[in-house]
Structure 1
Amino acid sequence: MFIDGRKETFNALKALRKEYKVFWIHAASLGEFEQGRPIIEEFKKMYPNYKILVTFFSPSGYEIRKNYDLADVVCYLPFDTSKNVKRFIKLAHPDIAIIVKYEFWPNLLNQLHRTKTKTILVSGIFRENQVFFRSYGKWMRSFLSSFNHFFVQNETSKSLLNQFNFNNVTVSGDTRFDRVYKILHQDNTVDFIEDFKDNTYTIVAGSTWKEDEELLVNYINQLASEEEKFIIAPHKITDETIDALRKSILKKTILYSERNNVNLKQYQVFIVDTIGLLTKIYSYANVAYVGGGLATGLHNILEPATFGVPVIFGGNKYQKFNEAVELIEHGGAKTILDQLDLNTLLVDLKNNELLRGEMGTTSKTFISNNVGATPTIMAYIKEQLQ
């Protein structure tokens, strides 16, 4: 998939005829796409005559968003060889290029610079241990000159860039806040989840990995009372993984794919063996557990937070996720390292409505206080396209 999908890139780009104006946005994976999505939506409203190209590096992003309706072409970014990127830029001929958060490919940036393509980084985060800021990083740092402007998430990133005379920097925050804030204004009703929940205290565990599920299942099997329900939306959905998860749970469990013509109220655990529903399902949570922190990397904690839900996640390697650091500091989220941590926290939250309320209010306020990155970026784009 990773290799084969790239074989179709250049054929896909042929749809972008030379007379078209092209707006290109690149996201490494699904999380970065969600950061770029508010910009795509606003750009489409402001410039309907432009064709929109979306590229991914990772299959996990491409496979889920390959049919994204606002894009004219969705494809993989080719591997970063000089030959590949020259062909890519020639076929895509973007009037403006947006790179989300990171993805600093030297040949690509060099070619964008050579073709004088307006290039912008959005929702960027820089850290002092990155190669750009090391004594031996001058070569990589030189490619940052390809960017016309950096829109970064925090003052630390701006300061690091300023130290090396990159002064074309704006602290705009994270565009994902704009994305998740808009979710509140859509219809988040899911009838079968309402039936399953049945006004019962419910924990929603989203984007879980095996490491998360082992702890959650132990809690469900050993400590969960009849007065609490669980919705688990695994990150990996295959017949094998879903079947293994289900068999590990001793409480009465049903799958999304089995939901029709049954009395959902009588089940205690609901496993979501499909994609695309998690955001709405978070609106039914009394507490949300977000997966990935004990595995490869934390998933999106902003989606449950926007609904005013207390957030839990695993692991202590979340420093790369600015929103996780800040939400913990504010008190809207808590992290766990092992089974005892999870058990203690879930029992505390179940029994302490005041604590849940305080954490939930903090989460919701945290989201509303951080919106606004998209208008700032769009104002700059509008200026560049005049």
Structure 2
Amino acid sequence: MLWLYNFGIFLYKIVLHIVSIFNVKAKLFLKGRNNIIQTIKNNIDITKKHIWFHFASLGEFEQGRPVLEQLREKHPEKRIIITFFSPSGYEIRKNYPLADGIFYLPLDTKKNAADFIHLVNPEIAVFTKYEFWYHYFKTLHAQNIPLIIISGIFRPDQVFFKWYGNFYRKILGFVTYFFVQNEQSVNLLKDLNLKNVTLSGDTRFDRVAENTMRPKVLPLIQKFCGQSPVFIAGSTWLPDEQLLKELITAAPEWKFIIAPHEINPAHLQEIMRLVPDAARYTQLEKSPAGFGRQVLLIDNIGMLSSVYQYGQIAYIGGGFGTGIHNTLEAAAFGLPVIFGPKYDKFQEAKDLIALQAAISIKSAAELSAAFAALQKDEHAGDTAKKYVLDKTGSTAQIIKYLETYTQMNAGL
């Protein structure tokens, strides 16, 4: 099975080279890994140990960020290395100030794993939620370097739990400890005789709760909203935006803010065709007339988590694609949420629906009905906020465990 895994990694790289001809993300993925081992060697002190945090993308970074930042605060003498798999994480956070080095993770080959771990010399490795790389995990295990999974979540349909998943179960066996989000994950791992697991919850709750205490003030957004009720559509894709078009027309007394997941020119033009009278955030200061319009298009990255403070109801995109994006950022500010039908992989979405603080929709008519229902519900927003606050505390639990290793290696 290992040969098939290795061939898959090789084939993945070949496909990326082909796709990169017309795909910007694939091009960045390859460019960022060009001579990456030498780049790492040139930019860190290879004589020192590091704490290694790996994130698949931006969402996982925000999820694991409370752990990283509290560990940095408690142990400022420690050196921290961050790696990303995806350009959408690396390109946005490559200048994050609390790390001593930020890099793309070299593809998972035996040589790359050996070279990377030799250079970084991690005293501990922390992976957030998922990404299970055979060669990296095996090399860490062979060198007795603790490997911790935080905010992990497992489902019965994953390959680890299939009759043919023995190879992937072996990867789980290299993990030192799992901190997982729900009881189902605990039980699934224990069914594999993996008892090194604790139900700690999701560190995203700590992150989003912290964000509500110190939200970034956005004067242009505040001015655009004025005294109107505001509907915020975050991380949207084209199928989401097509539904929103009808809602916008039907609710002229509301202001709408759309923050698409992708802000490439082609997607922004698609949105402007759907809502031609929308103002663009980056042009507000130059075109003051935009403040009087009904719809504002956020055409830059990094604002959404603070934009939610100005809303009353939120729509979270992605539910007509591979799955919904972050509902918790909106819920933490006390906004009830609406999203598409593909939410089954997200425990918080199921919980919010059960609490009647969220509604899943499949059509424009259902969106309109959900919008009307949430306007009448005086408690949905408070319920959403309470749900988030009640789930905080995961970070402290994980930090307590990690400190057993950082203290043990304090002299390094």
Give the CA deviation at 1:243. 2.5
8 A contact 1:56–1:76 mirrored in 2: yes
Name the structure 2 match of 1:144: 172
- Indicate if the aligned counterparts of 1:154 and 1:171 stay in contact, CA closer than 8 A: yes
Paired position in structure 2 for 1:291? 317
Whether the 8 Å CA contact 1:202–1:230 is kept in 2: the answer is yes
Q: Secondary structure at the match of 2:34?
A: helix
Give the conservation status (yes or no) of the 8 Å contact 2:280–2:290: no
1:257 paired residue number: 282
Q: Call closer, same or farther: CA 1:133–1:248 in 2, change over 3 Å.
A: closer
Deviation of 1:90 (Å): 1.0
Matched, 1:112 2:140: yes
Matching of residues 4-83 of structure 1 within 5 Å: 4-14=31-41, 15-83=43-111
Contact 1:188 1:283 in 2 (8 A): no
Q: Please give the residue correspondences for 1:375-386 in structure 2 after superposition, counting only pairs within 5 Å.
A: 375-385=396-406, 386=408
Local SS of the residue matching 2:168: helix
Distance in 2, matches of 1:109 and 1:319, equals 28
1:326 maps onto 2:351 in alignment: yes
The residue matched to 1:141 in structure 2 has which SS? Answer: helix
Q: Distance in 1 between matches of 2:269 and 2:180?
A: 42
Per-residue Cα deviation, 1:316-371 (whole angstroms, up to 9, x for no partner): x2111111111111221111111111122223334x2xx0x311011001001100
Q: Could you tell me which residue of structure 2 aligns to residue 126 of structure 1? A: 154
User: Cα deviations across residues 185-226 of structure 1 (Å, max 9, x unaligned)?
Assistant: 1043211111111110110111110110111012223x122x
* 1:229 maps onto 2:255 in alignment: yes
**Fraction of identical pairs, as percent:** 43
Letter in 2 for 1:2: F
- Number of equivalent positions: 378
Distance of 2:159 and 2:292 partners within structure 1 = 55
Letter in 1 for 2:251: A
Counterpart of 2:237 in structure 1: which amino acid? W
Q: Is there any run of 5+ residues in structure 1 with no aligned partner, and where? A: none
* Distance in 1, Cα, partners of 2:211 & 2:113: 36
1:178-189 to structure 2, matched below 5 A, reads 178-189=206-217
Question: 1: CA distance between counterparts of 2:268 and 2:164?
Answer: 47
Q: What's the secondary structure of 1:150's corresponding residue?
A: strand
Asked if 2 retains the 8 angstrom alpha-carbon contact of 1:66 and 1:75, the reply is: yes
Does structure 2 retain, via aligned residues, the 8 Å contact 1:20–1:50?
A: no
Q: Which amino acid counterpart does residue 369 of structure 2 have in structure 1? A: T
Counterpart residue identity of residue 168, structure 1: N
User: Which amino acid in the other structure matches residue 283 of structure 2?
Assistant: E
Task: Choose which of 294, 297, 310 in structure 2 pairs with 1:271.
Answer: 297
Q: Distance in 2 between matches of 1:12 and 1:191?
A: 40
What displacement does 1:6 show? 1.2
1:91 aligned residue (100, 119, 124): 119
Tell me the distance in 1 between the aligned counterparts of 2:128 and 2:111.
23
The TM-score, its normalising length taken from structure 2, stands at: 0.89
- Find the aligned partners of 2:139 and 2:158 in 1 and give their Cα distance: 23
Question: Contact conserved, 2:49 with 2:120, CA < 8 A, in 1?
Answer: no
Aligned-residue offset at 1:8: 4.6
Q: Distance in 2 between matches of 1:264 and 1:190?
A: 16
Q: What is the alpha-carbon distance in structure 2 between the residues aligned to residue 182 and residue 133 of structure 1?
A: 35
Report whether the alignment pairs 1:203 with 2:231: yes
- SS of 1:74 mapped into structure 2: strand
Distance 2:140 2:113 in 1: 9
Deviation at 1:377, TM superposition (A): 0.4
* Residue in 2 that maps onto 1:345: 370
Structure 1 residues 48 and 220: alpha-carbon distance in aligned structure 2, compared to 1, 3 A threshold:
same
Following superposition, the deviation at residue 314 of structure 1 comes to 1.0
Contact 1:205 / 1:232 at 8 angstroms: preserved in 2? yes
Seen in structure 2, the aligned counterparts of structure 1 residues 325 and 348 have a Cα distance that, compared at 3 Å, is closer
Partner of 1:160: 188
Provide the C-alpha distance between the structure 2 equivalents of 1:245 and 1:21, rounded to a whole number of angstroms: 48
Question: 1:242 matched to which residue of 2?
Answer: 268
Structure 2: unaligned runs, 5 residues or longer: 1-27
Residue deviations 1:276-332 (CA, integer Å, cap 9, x gap): 1111110011101111111232111000000011111112x2111111111111221
